[in-house]
Chain A
Amino acid sequence: MHFSDARLHPLWDKVRAGERLSREDGLTLFATDDLLGVGRMADWAKSEREGDRVYFVINRHVTPTNVCVLSCSFCGFARKPGQAGSYEHTIEDMVAMVREETREVHIVGGHHPDWPFEYYERMIEAIHAAHPEVQIKAFTAAEVDYWWRRFKIEPKEALIRLKAAGLQSMPGGGAEIFSPRLARLLKYTGKADPDRWCEIHGIAHGLGIPTNATMLYGHVETPAERVEHLLRLREQQDASGGFLTFVPLTYQEAATRLVPRRTPPADSLRTIAVSRLLLDNFPHVEAYWVVLGEATASIALHFGADDVNGTLEDERIQHLSGAQTPAGLAREQLFRMIRDAGKVPVERDALYNVVQVYN
């Protein structure tokens, strides 16, 4: 491989030899002008694992409530109890939101001040009873940690009970950026800190609950903070091994304005590529089309991503924060996004079992 930045040659030697990249390597990948050089290495790493396959899932999001006791600066979704625009779904509402053709339901909501843990347990039970074929991916580590803070329910107990109720996997939200500086600056100190977030994912992995991991980027974090975040996830994956997918989340600037504009697409492509290269023990890296936009998500399939998320019949959180993408992209549109990149769409379930290959 030829690079316009000679600093990439030793990194490429490592990548090809299957050697792990270091913190300094990660910083070089974020600093270099050779964006396509970074992308080509990531594309190679992705192709080694998955060839031309790109995954998607028929899914929908259910967001039980936007009422939240936290006040994270980056969030345009949360409302205080009784505030205009706040809502609380009943369990019946949520059961009705899930349709039979949905394969995965993704459930994440605010940290509600009053709902007891049993409400969440019954929610999972009811959805599972009504739709036994639908796989339930629910609750971030931040929510699990909140049940401990609020009700003194140990994460292990919570996860055992939720698994018994029908929970199959956990999403990767609530990680934000693993940085004490940013937690203070962006007022998310009330949320599971990096050690706690990783501890809860480790507990889930130990119980046979696979999870995802995220990183909220494109606001006021530094490249070094991104690299630290990725390395912390890599370390946790070495320890517990249950992460399926890494999902970089582009900060949506419209509602909360931490920065005047969304980070440019080249930065998102680079972040996806660097993630693929640093997270050598993560099976999948996602180009989440809702936060990236369709064009960038499609291009990202050449920068190391092997997943575009799914059809998403409802996506409240990102949309209230101002994501521009039309909600509810049909399967045909996902096909176009994948095929325009010259890749093969593969429908998967929540656990990455292949449902159908669309050649």
Chain B
Amino acid sequence: MLDRIRDKAFNGKRLEREEGRYLLAEAPLLEVGALANQVRFARYPEKMVTFVIDTNPNYTNVCVTDCQFCAFYRKPGDKEAWTLTVDEVLAKIESAVAKGATTVLLQGGHNPALPLDYYLSLVTETRRRFPRVTPHFFTASEIQTMASVAHLSVEDVLDRLWEAGQRTIPGGGAEVLSTRVRSRIEPKKGGPEAWLSVHRAAHRRGFKSTATMMYGHVEQVDDLLDHFDAIRALQDERGGFTAFVPWSFKPGHTLLEKWIKHYRGPNAYLRMLAVSRLYLDNFPHIQASWFSEGKDAGQVALNFGADDWGGTLFEENVHKAADYVNTISVDEIVTLIREAGFTPAQRTTEYEILQRY
């Protein structure tokens, strides 16, 4: 099986589901990693790893969707609920810009009290005041919330965001794109098509986006394959995904914590990255990170097919709510990438190189 997969991978042939299943469930980890790394270097011969200077603030923690994996949200009216004004969000962006941020990944809960104009103002004001920053705002389910609050179609909302100056959309909220998993852990968020349809419409409008995966809870291997198949097929349509970004579910303070006490460890992460490099043959970038499983596993991951190391995440609140805290500076990112044997390069949201170190 491994020989067949190697043969296909090096001849540009697409892996089938049963091959994906073998890679996820059976293949020796280092065999998968070595293969993924060879594919990565065939595609990007340079020993370079990119990263982005970014921040992940949130505009509200109010949410009506009650996802079982989330420790961040509060119901409307909760005494710990909060929503920032446009000016308060911009102040956060300003402080990240002062530290060199070029990307702001802004997301929040599904807060039905917020009108469309609030979101549009966030985009236009960010564009106006911080022309060097890419507003990488609002995941698929937030865009659906905007549409339903404003009684517009998703396409209309995407048009308005585009007109306001937005060009990229973050890939959060995919979790695992399988009907079984999503109905179990996020029944109010809709099946895989809910996430996929927004990204399909966004790519059609000209947006770029990322595809994420949060694994390590109730999913089985077939659910992961459903996820891979779905995003690979969508990528075939218009090529709108820049990168695939997996991370493990962190159970602290979530409803799922009752059944799942710990996050999956580093080996599962390395395997996920390596398999995605092989299976997602039409994705340009595979993003490993110092954040998800820690800096050690993140450095090792650069030998398992990943070519990008994510962002600085100056502000991060969602994992923090699950008691998972990890921070880094630009200097440390550069040092760690170098130490791992690669040339660090700062990129934009859309993976253009800004500077090599």
Interface residues of A (CB under 8 A from B): 2, 4, 33-37, 39-40, 43, 261, 264-266, 269, 293-296, 298-299, 301-303, 336-337, 340-342
Q: A295-B294, A341-B267 are in contact. Are A261 and B335 (CB under 8 A)?
A: yes
Tell me if B61 counts as interface (CB < 8 A to partner A).
Answer: no
Tell me the minimal C-beta distance from A69 to chain B in angstroms: 36
Judge whether B206 is part of the interface by a CB distance below 8 angstroms: no
CB A347 to nearest CB in B, in angstroms, measures 20
| Contact A299:B31 (CB < 8 A) given known A4-B38, A35-B303, A264-B340 | no
Interface pair A265/B34, CB less than 8 Å apart? no
Instruction: Indicate whether A302 sits within 8 Å of B30 (C-beta atoms), given known contacts A264-B299, A296-B296.
Output: yes
- Residues B266 and A299 in contact, CB atoms below 8 Å apart: yes
Given A4-B37, A40-B28, A266-B340, 4 other A-B contacts at CB below 8 A?
A: A33-B341, A36-B37, A299-B266, A340-B264
Interface residues of B in 295-315 (CB under 8 A from A): 296-297, 299-300, 303-304
Q: Mark B243-272, 1 if CB is under 8 A from A, else 0.
A: 000000000000000000010111110100
A295-B339 in contact (CB<8A): no
Total interface residues on B, CB under 8 Å, equals 30
Question: What number of residue pairs across chains A and B have CB atoms under 8 A from each other?
Answer: 80
Q: How far is the CA of A87 from the CA of B335 in the complex (A)?
A: 38
* Docked CA distance A341–B29 (Å): 9
Q: Contact at A40–B34, with CB atoms within 8 Å?
A: yes
* Residue B240 is within 8 A (CB to CB) of chain A in the complex: no
| Interchain nearest-CB distance for A310 vs B (Å) | 19
B33: Cβ under 8 A from any A Cβ? yes
B220-252 CB mask vs A (1 if < 8 Å, else 0) is: 000000000000000000000000000000000
* Structural contact, A293 and B296, CB atoms closer than 8 A: yes
Does A295 lie within 8 Å of B34, measured CB to CB? no
Shortest B23–chain A CB gap in Å is: 13
A266 close to B303 (CB less than 8 A): yes
Contact assessment for B303 and A36 in the assembled complex, using a CB-CB cutoff below 8 Å: yes
- CA distance in complex: A269, B33 (Å): 14
Q: How far, in whole Å, are A35 and B304 apart by their CA atoms in the complex?
A: 10
B116 vs chain A, min Cβ distance (A):
43
Is the CB–CB distance between B265 and A337 below 8 Å?
Answer: yes
> Would you call A43 and B296 a contact (CB within 8 A)?
no
Query: Can you show 29 pairs from A to B with CB atoms below 8 A apart?
Result: A2-B6, A2-B34, A4-B34, A4-B37, A4-B38, A34-B34, A40-B28, A40-B30, A43-B28, A265-B296, A265-B299, A266-B300, A266-B303, A266-B341, A293-B296, A295-B293, A295-B297, A295-B300, A296-B297, A298-B265, A299-B270, A299-B297, A302-B267, A340-B266, A340-B267, A340-B268, A341-B29, A341-B265, A342-B29
